Amino acid sequence: MTDFHLNRHSYLIILLVAISFCISSVGYVVSKGRVDREDFKTHAVFLADDIWALNASGATAYLQLALKAQHYRSLSILIPGEDSSLEVLSRSLEGVSSLFFQLGLIWTKELEQSITYRGMVIGKLHGVKYVQVVFPLLNILCLHLLLLLIIITIDSLLRRRAILEKLVRERTHNLQDSERRFQDLVNLLPEMVFETDMDGNITYANKEAQFRFGLKGESSKSNNLFSYILEKEGTSVREKFQKTLQDGNTALKEFRAKGGDGTCFPLLMCAASIKDGEQVIGARIIGIDITERHHLEEQLLKDQKMKAIGLMAGGVAHDLNNILSGIVSYPELLLLDQGNDSPLRGPLETIRKAGMDASEVVSDLLTVARGVIAERDVVAPNDLIHEYFASHDFHELCTRYPLVSIETALAPVLNNIACSSIHVRKCLMNLITNGVEAISRHGVLLIETQNQRVTAKEQEEWCLPSQGQYTRITISDTGVGIAQDEIQQIFEPFYTKKVMGRSGTGLGLAVVWNIVRDHGGTVNVQSSSEGTAFDVYFPSVAIPQASAAEEKDWRELKGNGEVILVIDDEPRQRDVASKLLRSLGYAPCVAGSGEEALEYLANNSAAVLLLDMLMTPGQYSGRQTYEEVLKIHPGQKAIITSGYAENEDVRVTLEQGAGGFIAKPYTLEQLGTTIQTVLFH
């Protein structure tokens, strides 16, 4: 039904129609008046002959005819010189005309016209005429009302059409926006989105799916989804696909897919059927590449393994190092009383070295489990390589593998690095040892150093903390190489191809990896049947190397009877420490707990505390003991010892004023040097 709700535009139309009606009405009234006068003149002309001929009956008949035809109330003819006149009268108005006459809508007007014959006036025609313009005006009004209705109807229809066209444009635009937004959102998804027909032919694919599977365009009917699934899983995928078409949707399921570049990756898929009414016409599928999730799961398993190793290492390290203290220290004390030609010197040296080797294994285990927390000095990597070449371990390696040639290509101008020298030397030793052992008979092991700038792309690829200048140490060999599927495993703890217990512990490369990563660097491996190359990157520093301290003979480290308070809950360790201190010329006192030490220090003093960090549960720890000692003796000098590892307690205690840290088992020289440093610096 047409909406006739009037607005400003409708009122304007009504106004224009009203003006048209007024103009038409006035025009009609004016025209009607003119016509009436013309008709009256015509009547006078027709009556002239009858009046001249004195034909009264003919004139009367004409008057009656005109009276009826043109709604005259009366018509009369006056002849000059005669008293009588001809006059005809009409009947009174009836019906609606009578009502309109009474209401004044029909009125009368008088008309008068001279009757002339051949230029001579022979009489006058006088008439009273009913003015009945109301009926024509009503017709004109009805016509205008009909016109108004038609115009308003057409205008309303046009306006409704314009509104509908606007709504259609808006909804079309909104639909296009919605479709474009949907397309953008789908294409922004990191997941792959497909639509297929009943046979698995791909009818739609978002950009990620196009990229991963090498599809061209969104519609790729020439490609079948099943062709991108590995053949051995094809049957399972088809079964799931058919189940989707029957049941409507399926839960997540993992498959192995083959990308457009030929690489395989794990694909997690979820599907739902597409329906046209009640008929299933295809399937809508979301695919998620879960390669990263697998990597994270592997990393989680690795972290859990490392945590287990850490718990194991932490559980045995303290007690094992306390035990090794006796194996290392007692032979050292006995060697002080043996001459160079003593038959006991050899066995004692062997016992001492075995203890030190065992402590190195414990140290490696702690490094793998807890990382490297040590003071770092600015050093030249080339110097570290030369120091290793001068070591007993290197000479022993060369003796065992005389057919292997070890060559160097060291950069003459090489950036320094900030590192823990002992740990980086450990890296070099492990990598060089691995390289030499990988060569079956004759071969070459090459050690290179070079400055290298790491780009943003390499930083992201190698997971480095920053880009910029790095110092690269490359150790390459001409051995048998490493299988590609084993390269990712070689840095895992206890992973080795060697005979465990004879040529390795399985911790060598794990130690290398942890040390380098803790120093903000990385290790890259390239291997083939012609050999293997390890590229080790350390961040470079623009700081000059500090001058090396002079090495002292242990006899120069003797004290002058200063009191050293040994605080340790292990009796054997207190005994070892006391004997080493006496041999160095100090006066040792012992305390079996922190509480016992505080009781002693309440009435006595000590030049230096030799403080074990890990005490029996329920007693003060080394950190708590030192905090309480500082309340009694502010500025008390102390050396921290531990068979566990450097940890947060060690760091805090060093910050509080402890002068040094030595790990158990320690040697006579290490103990003497540390005490001298704490006492006089």
Block residue for tokens 């402590």: 359
447 by DSSP, 3-state: which? strand
Instruction: Identify the pLDDT of residue 659.
Output: 86
Partners of 202 in beta bridges? 196, 220
Tell me how far CA of residue 289 lies from CA of 42, 319, 504, in angstroms. 108, 48, 39
User: pTM score > 0.85 for this model?
Assistant: no
| Under 8 Å between Cβ of 112 and 124 | yes
Nearest residue to 99 via CA among 147, 47, 135: 135
End-to-end CA distance of the chain: 105
Interacting residues of 350 by C-beta distance below 8 A, sequence separation 6+: none
Cβ(140)–Cβ(25) below 8 Å: yes
- Mapped to the 3 state alphabet, what secondary structure does 125-174 carry? EEEEEEECCHHHHHHHHHHHHHHHHHHHHHHHHHHHHHHHHHHHHHHHHH
Q: How many CB atoms lie within 10 A of CB 451?
A: 13
Residues 479 and 438 sit within 8 Å (Cβ to Cβ): yes
67-79 residues labelled b (16+ CB within 10 A) or e (exposed): beebbbbbbbbbb
- Of 679, 672, 609, 606, nearest to 639 by C-alpha is 609
How many Å apart are CA 116 and CA 49, to the nearest integer? 9
Given this model, what pLDDT does residue 477 score? 93
Contact 288, 539 (CB under 8 A): no
What is the rounded CA–CA span in Å between residue 595 and residue 274?
A: 77
DSSP state of 634: T
Q: Which residue has the tokens 């129609």?
A: 17
CB-based contacts of 63, cutoff 8 Å, min separation 6: 47, 75, 77, 86, 88
Task: Note the helical H segments in 538-680.
Answer: 571-583, 594-601, 622-632, 648-656, 668-680
pLDDT value at residue 470? 92
Q: Measure the CA–CA gap between 193 and 285, rounded to whole angstroms.
A: 6
Q: What is the pLDDT of residue 261?
A: 79
Beta-carbon contacts of 478 under 8 Å, excluding residues fewer than 6 positions away, are 439, 443, 444, 445, 530, 531
Instruction: Indicate if the alpha-carbon torsion angle 360, 363, 367, 373 is positive or negative.
Output: negative
Cβ neighbours around 463 below 10 Å, total: 8
The CA distance from 498 to 438, in Å, is 10
Q: What is the pLDDT of residue 502?
A: 44
Q: What DSSP letter does each residue of 201-256 carry, written as one string?
A: EEEEE-HHHHHHHT--SS-EEEEEGGGGB-HHHHHHHHHHHHHHHHHSB---EEEE
Please give the pLDDT value at position 135: 86
User: Between vectors from CA 106 to CA 101 and to CA 111, what angle results, nearest 5°?
Assistant: 120
Q: Is 480 helix (H, G, I), strand (E, B) or coil?
A: coil
- Cα 451 to chain centroid distance, Å, stands at 35
pLDDT at 501: 44
pLDDT of residue 2: 44
Long-range contacts formed by 528-531: CB under 8 A, 24+ apart: 528/481, 529/480, 529/481, 530/478, 530/481, 531/438, 531/443, 531/476, 531/477, 531/478, 531/479, 531/481
Omega within 30 of 0 (cis) for the link into 544: no
Q: Which neighbouring-strand residues pair with 469?
A: 453
Instruction: Give residues with Cβ within 8 angstroms of 386, minimum separation 6.
Output: none
For the chain of 681 residues, list the mean pLDDT of each consecutive stretch of 10.
60 88 90 89 85 79 87 86 77 86 88 87 88 87 90 87 91 88 81 85 85 70 76 77 73 79 83 83 86 81 70 65 71 73 78 71 61 68 91 88 92 89 86 89 92 86 82 92 79 63 63 84 88 92 69 69 90 87 91 91 91 82 90 91 72 86 82 87 70
